[in-house]
Structure 1
Amino acid sequence: MKQIYSIGVGLIGGSLALDIKKQDPEVVIHGISRKDATLNQALELNIIDKKAVLEDVKHADLVIVSIPVDATVKLLPTILDLIPETALVVDAGSTKLDICKAVENHPKRRNFLAMHPIAGTEFSGPTAAFEGLFIGKTNIVCEVEKTTFKLQEKALKLFTDIGMRIRYMNPEAHDKHIAYMSHLSHISSFMLGKTVIDKEKNERDIFDMAGSGFESTVRLAKSSPEMWTPIFEQNKTNVIETLEEYINNLKHFKELMEQDDFEAVFNEMKNTNHIKDILNGIA
């Protein structure tokens, strides 16, 4: 896979490009973006080797799609129309069901691999990209059986070579689990930030009193609304379900405090401490 086209050259697409180039300096990374300024920036940062347009993917060995999920749903059939029979297209979207459905009957469905690298930061754009982002991270692959074996084999080797673990899952299960593990935490962070901004009108007070706990909890509120709004829209049913459970837990915690039942408050937190054992096991 020597001719690689990255549609989207921000945090995920750019970091993938950097890691792939580190593994194989002979690959040529072509960048595609709606904004020429973004491509110029990616060139300056040595994330890509050349600028390209969508029609150029007819020369691709591999196409990486790392753009907002609503744009992926619209663009993916066209990409598959354009690529040669020997090429593979992968996407890195945070939702999978709508993306998989968009190409389920496409003549080149076998040339597509749906994946979601569970990696990232709160930053976006080419300047957010860096080498090593994916080391030790899980890459969830959906409907692998629908991708031609030779192409999936090459792609999975590429991603394991840059340090990712591979996990297989169907799109429905992926979207349900990711609503709890990622989408809910982003909403919580955004709404915590909103609550503080609405209450604390003095920005200097927020800055002076923000401890490490607040900073780490609200970190995800710096994330791009342009990226996250389509994710919430595509995964609406699962996100609403997780929000209902989360809100019920918050209400229950509030009721315990109103009842001065701090033994129960202690037990709630003590029982939840088990999360560190789970996360330590993952680490």
Structure 2
Amino acid sequence: MNVFVIGLGLIGGSLSLDIQEHFVDAKIYGIDVSENHLQEALEIGIIHEKATFSDLEKADVVIVSIPVDVQLQVIPEVLDIINDDCLLIDVGSTKEMICTVVANHPKRRNFLAAHPIAGTEFSGPKAAIKGLFKNKTNIICEVEKTAFKLQEKALEIFSTLGMRIRYMDSKSHDKHIAYVSHLSHISAFMLGKTVIEKEKNERDIFDMAGSGFASTVRLAKSSPAMWTPIFEQNKTNVIETLNEYIINLQQFKELMENDNFPEIYNEMKNTNYIKQILNGIK
């Protein structure tokens, strides 16, 4: 099985490592705009060979793991090249725009829109992790538009890597993911910004920062090159989530100003219910 991975960062690299481990016949070819990433991926065993777009004709599976704005150009180009039996999977964090772009492509049936909900704040080939996707949810959008035999091929890969599958339309995906992923990244970035600005005058802040602060701002270490296009493509949904978040922050601030700490206690106690929700999806 000839597997081409376009974009050799955390997600693309981790998929490559897991596919190699579970599919012994898989030969992994890497394509990346960064020659340094390509060489690094080759040296640490993420890929077996470097490749270019001209090699895609021999692909059985192509995985596209690049910033979502670049996907809009790259995925139609890849569809133009691949053979009729090849499966093309995109693993980006937004889905509606890319599904719209490929909607009328002659090889739309070869395309599967997927979003594995897994990752860390790190990027580049060295960020790749074996077993990253085990027991993680993978959202598949518009599955009915993918050829059935290629659906089967994709599900074999996903299930072998240990993923749980959810099906969703692209609009719902982008709306829901704005709440559970995109908003949390914005929160981390802005909390980090707030503390950095304050730290200019109060040098002891980071000396006092504990594990709670570190875990809260962990996502602020994520790649701006990846996340700016995500926010742009999902702008409407992200703004909606921000409006709701800001209202809750403002209400909390007003409770503080009014010394209404019994209600603050109730707010936090009611929100503790999220522990049950998160425990249920592990």
Same fold, TM exceeding 0.5?
Answer: yes
- Structure 2 counterparts to residues 117-156 of structure 1, below 5 A: 117-156=116-155
Distance apart, 1:25 and its partner CA: 2.2
* Alpha-carbon displacement from aligned partner over 1:35-81 (angstroms, at most 9, x marks no partner): 11110000111000000011211110000000000000111111000
Distance apart, 1:139 and its partner CA: 0.4
Distance apart, 1:238 and its partner CA: 0.0
Q: Which residue in the other structure is 1:239 paired with?
A: 238
**Using a 3 Å threshold, how does the CA distance of structure 1 residues 81 and 207 change in structure 2: closer, same or farther?**
same
- 2:79 counterpart letter in structure 1: L
Alignment partners' CA distance in 1, 2:24 and 2:200 = 51
Q: Which residue in the other structure is 2:247 paired with?
A: 248
Q: Which residue in the other structure is 1:59 paired with?
A: 58
Distance apart, 1:204 and its partner CA: 5.2
Alignment partners' CA distance in 2, 1:152 and 1:60 = 16
Q: Which residue in the other structure is 1:181 paired with?
A: 180
Distance apart, 1:178 and its partner CA: 0.1
- 1:37 counterpart letter in structure 2: N
Q: Which residue in the other structure is 1:87 paired with?
A: 86
Distance apart, 1:260 and its partner CA: 0.5
Helix, strand or coil for the counterpart of 2:12? Answer: helix
Moved more, 206-215 or 130-139: 206-215
Mind listing any 5+ residue stretches in structure 2 that lack a counterpart?
A: none
Q: Which residue in the other structure is 1:197 paired with?
A: 196
Alignment partners' CA distance in 1, 2:23 and 2:244 = 46
Helix, strand or coil for the counterpart of 2:123? Answer: coil
Please, what TM-score do these two structures have when normalized by structure 2?
Answer: 0.99
**Using a 3 Å threshold, how does the CA distance of structure 1 residues 203 and 102 change in structure 2: closer, same or farther?**
farther
* Alpha-carbon displacement from aligned partner over 1:104-143 (angstroms, at most 9, x marks no partner): 0000000000000000000000000010000000000000
Helix, strand or coil for the counterpart of 1:139? Answer: strand
Q: Is 1:73 the counterpart of 2:72 in the alignment?
A: yes
Helix, strand or coil for the counterpart of 1:207? Answer: helix
Helix, strand or coil for the counterpart of 2:217? Answer: helix
Distance apart, 1:207 and its partner CA: 3.0
Q: Which residue in the other structure is 1:46 paired with?
A: 45
Aligned length: 282
Helix, strand or coil for the counterpart of 2:106? Answer: coil
Q: Which residue in the other structure is 1:12 paired with?
A: 11
RMSD, matched Cα: 0.9
Contact 2:109–2:145 (8 Å) recurs in 1: yes
Mind listing any 5+ residue stretches in structure 1 that lack a counterpart?
A: none
Distance apart, 1:201 and its partner CA: 1.0
Alignment partners' CA distance in 2, 1:58 and 1:160 = 26
Distance apart, 1:24 and its partner CA: 1.3
Q: Which residue in the other structure is 1:159 paired with?
A: 158
Q: Which residue in the other structure is 2:169 paired with?
A: 170
* Alpha-carbon displacement from aligned partner over 1:220-264 (angstroms, at most 9, x marks no partner): 000000000000000000000000000000000000000000000
Contact 2:183–2:241 (8 Å) recurs in 1: yes
Distance apart, 1:206 and its partner CA: 3.5
**Alignment identity in percent?**
68
